[in-house]
Chains A and B, each alone.
Chain A
Amino acid sequence: MRGARRLVHRHIEGSRVTLALSHVTKRFGNTVALDDISLTIERGEFICFLGPSGCGKTTLLRIIAGLELAEEGTVTLEDRDLSEVPARHRNFGVVFQSYSLFPNMTAARNVGYGLECRGRPRAEIEARAAEMLRIVALSDHAHKLPSQLSGGQQQRVALARALAPDPEVLLLDEPLSALDAKVRESLRLEIRDLQRRLGITTIMVTHDQEEALTMADRIVVMDTGRIAQIGTARELYDRPASRFVAEFIGRMNVLPVAGGRLAGLPLALPQGATLIGIRPEDVRLHAGEGPAGRAILPARLTNTIYLGNLAHLVLSVEGIEHEIVAEVPGHACKAIADAPQIGLELPAETIKVLA
Chain B
Amino acid sequence: MTALTADRAAPAVRRSRRNRLAAMLPAVVVGLPLILFVLFPLAHILGRSFSTPDGFGLANYAAMLGNERFLRITWNSFAVTLVSAAVAIVMAYAFAYAVQRSTMPLRNLFRMIAVLPLFAPSLVQAQGLVLLFGRNGLINRSFGLGIDLYGYWGIVIASVLYVFPYAFLILSAALAVADARIYESAEMLGASKWRAFRTVTLPATRYGLAAAIFVCFTLVITDFGNPMVIGGDYTVLASEVYNQVIGQANFEMGTVIGMVLLIPAAIAAMVEKRVSAKQYALISDHSRPLVPQKDRLRDLALLAVAVLISAAILSIVLVVVFASFVHLWPYRMTFSLRHYAFDVQNGIQPLWNSIYVSVMAAGIGVVAVTAAAYVIEKFPSPAARGLYFLSILPAAVPGMVLGLGYILAFNSPSNPVYAIYGTLVIIAIANVYYYHAHGFLISGTSIKQISGRFDEASATLGGSRRQTFAKVTLPLLFPTLVGIAVFFFMRSMVTLSAVIFLITPNTQVAAVSVLYLQDRGATNQAAAFSVCIIATIMAVLLAVRLLLNAMGHRNVSLIR
Binding site for B on A (CB under 8 A): 65-67, 69, 71, 80-81, 83-94, 96, 98, 100-104, 113-114, 116-118, 161-162, 165, 171
Contact = CB atoms under 8 A, between A and B. Distances in A.
Given A83-B12, A117-B464, A165-B461, A100 B4 contact: no
Contacts of B462: 88-89, 91, 114, 117-118, 165
Nearest to B14: A84
Given A100-B457, A116-B471, 9 more contacts: A83-B8, A90-B460, A96-B456, A96-B457, A98-B453, A102-B454, A113-B461, A113-B471, A118-B462
Contact of A84 (B6, B454, B456, B464): B6
Contacts of B3: 84-85
Interface residues of B, number: 24
Contact of B475 (A94, A96, A101, A104): A104
Contact of A88 (B1, B4, B6, B463): B463
Contacts of B8: 81, 83
Nearest to A158: B457
Contacts of A91: 462
B185 interface: no
A94 B4 contact: no
A98 B233 CA distance: 63
A101 B6 CA distance: 35
Contacts of B4: 80-81, 84-85
Most buried by A among B4, B11, B453, B462: B462
B199 interface: no
A186 B236 CA distance: 72
Contacts of B11: 83-84
Contacts of B463: 88, 113, 117
A69 B15 CA distance: 11
22 contacts: A83-B12, A84-B6, A87-B456, A87-B459, A88-B458, A89-B462, A90-B460, A93-B461, A96-B453, A96-B457, A98-B453, A100-B454, A100-B457, A102-B454, A102-B476, A104-B475, A114-B461, A117-B463, A117-B464, A118-B462, A161-B461, A171-B460
B554 to A, nearest CB: 13
Contacts of B15: 84
A90 B476 CA distance: 26
Contacts of B557: none
Interface in B447-478: 453-454, 456-464, 467, 471-472, 475-476
Chain B CB count within 10 A is highest, among A84, A94, A101, for: A84
Contacts of A101: 457
B12 A71 contact: yes
The 5 A-B pairs with the shortest beta carbon distances in the complex, nearest first, are A114-B461, A100-B457, A94-B460, A84-B3, A87-B459
Contact of B472 (A71, A94, A102): A102
A94 B476 CA distance: 21
Contacts of B458: 88, 102, 113, 117
Contacts of B459: 66-67, 86-88
B472 A104 contact: yes
A90 B463 CA distance: 11
A100 B459 CA distance: 12
B451 to A, nearest CB: 11
B556 to A, nearest CB: 14
A100 B12 contact: no
A118 B475 CA distance: 20
Contacts of B457: 94, 96, 100-102
Contacts of A171: 460
A96 B12 CA distance: 26
A91 B461 CA distance: 7
A67 B464 contact: no
Contacts of B460: 65-67, 87-88, 90, 92-94, 162, 171
